[in-house]
Chain A
């Protein structure tokens, strides 16, 4: 198992570095003066100091030395400054990231529970009415644009029925999760739809695949009830590959959150990225992208390890 973890991290860690290198050079390539994001705007206003500051910050050094300084700074949590607002990027992240994580996590939980459950029911009775229904829901789920779906459920549940708020997020301070939940329901459900469809299809197919295996016949030959065959043998053995697909599709979920945040005016990272793109605030775009990619990479690594742990053939290696 340790060997597996080491082998996986030998892939993950270099990938993190490659991503950081790509991001660093992408910022360098963008048409902006490095000084504008390397130093706080209060310090950089004085144009006489600028040249000295440039020297002091090492911006005249060769690129690889600059990269070295930059990556050290990044590890310390110093990501530079927004060229539009002059805010430290670390502060923007600290402000916006929790909202995105909250939304994505809830969407992940919703899509996993509903998607896997519907996939299981489908697999138990393939080609039945409920299977047919689930499969069509899955195709619908990957076919309807997320923003269109969002608009429709805003129209129905917020505007027509008035059950839930239209958009926005209630701040963390002074209120409990339950107070904030009404604002979370519509956006997280919208975000969950695509992932739900993927997990539904995959769970169904993976279960059908496992159910055709010989050891399922062995389990049945012991006379155990069918529900035990499904849960303890078939589902237990599909779980690993379902987790792998979950990790594989995480980027889809995070990417989807950008659009969902716009539809529901959710003050998260997606919102920050969109406004940065509209104003060509390259440092903010690149750093947030890097953080998301790194987060996804680390999450996939963890899920991979978890799914490997579920398989004794890898765990006992």
Chain B
């Protein structure tokens, strides 16, 4: 296996949100790496903390969200910097946003400013970070629009978001995130709000950016089928924790956490047995406020034991690329060891 360089290392990230006086832990001890030129997919049900994770990386949490502890180490051309240590809207952090790390949001209509021309919105990012004349900036935007498959870019840069279709808007959004040529791209459910056929186009585009232009991508999704197609690494999140992490092969061929297993059973994935019935996951996601101790999934897990609710659960290395946070695995490993 070729040695991979990591572009981003998240270490023990803990984030809490407050409503009034109470504060709730939304992310607990999250750690993972993103490798250069690879795509990491973060999957999980809605509300599991996927979005919060990437918003924490960008320091774009809403006002009531706070990073309690942990590090976000970003490899800035050989220099390792901790994003968490930077001031939220300070110069250092702003130099990262847009220029070194690009971000694509879920709903392309809501994410584009309806009162600005799209060309201007893309140029804004470029001209914030590079002192270049307007004319040159505009040419660069036109060039990028061409690359991203937006037809008639010379004219269209003067148009407003509402004059674009959903798929084209998301291309504009990708243009905004790509215009400064960042090495890391974060895409927060970039296709959820789009039609199925458009979804495929956008995903092909993102895959092309990753493979041809050697970008690292964090893709947030709850679509397991998509993960199987495009991702290199997968992090499965549940209730603010990463419960399983590994290469896409590890996760699909050897899902080891009961949650991952039921997640895979609940969606059709290409290559799986056609006759197999799709399963649902019993129960609903509990309220993060009610958390006491142990494994968050225990209440919905078919294999839960008493110790699942009383012990701290460790991360267990199955192989050097595959980690699971589950006592079942620990026991079976012990059995093997015996």
A-side residues, CB < 8 A to B, are 213-215, 217-226, 233, 236-237, 310-313, 316
Contact = CB atoms under 8 A, between A and B. Distances in A.
Contacts of A225: 89, 94
Contacts of A220: 60, 89, 97
Given A214-B111, A217-B111, A223 B105 contact: no
Given A214-B110, A218-B112, A222-B128, 11 more contacts: A215-B110, A215-B114, A221-B105, A223-B94, A223-B96, A223-B98, A223-B128, A225-B94, A237-B115, A312-B114, A313-B160
A232 B326 CA distance: 49
B111 A218 contact: yes
Contacts of A215: 110-114
Nearest to A236: B115
A221 B160 contact: no
Which 3 pairs from chain A and chain B are nearest by CB? A223-B97, A223-B94, A214-B110
A222 B97 contact: yes
A214 B105 contact: yes
Contacts of B105: 214, 217-218, 221
A156 B128 CA distance: 50
Contacts of B121: 218
A123 B177 CA distance: 28
Interface string B135-176: 000000000000000000000000010110000000001001
B125 A237 contact: no
B113 A233 contact: yes
A224 B124 contact: yes
A311 B115 contact: yes
Interface in B48-103: 58, 60, 89, 93-99, 102-103
A312 B116 CA distance: 8
6 contacts: A217-B111, A223-B97, A224-B98, A225-B94, A236-B116, A311-B114
A221 B128 CA distance: 11
B222 interface: no
A223 B112 contact: no
B89, B93, B113 pick with most chain A CB within 10 angstroms: B113
A220 B116 CA distance: 15
Nearest to B106: A214
Contacts of A236: 115-116
Contacts of B60: 217, 220-221
Contacts of A313: 114, 160, 162
A212 to B, nearest CB: 8
Contacts of B96: 223
B163 to A, nearest CB: 7
A216 to B, nearest CB: 8
A233 B99 CA distance: 19
Contacts of A222: 97-98, 124-125, 128, 176
A218 B107 CA distance: 11
B129 interface: yes
A233 B125 CA distance: 13
A232 to B, nearest CB: 8
Contact of A316 (B89, B106, B128, B160): B160
- B124, B128, B176 interface centre (most CB from chain A within 10 Å): B124
Given A213-B110, A214-B107, A218-B173, A224 B115 contact: no
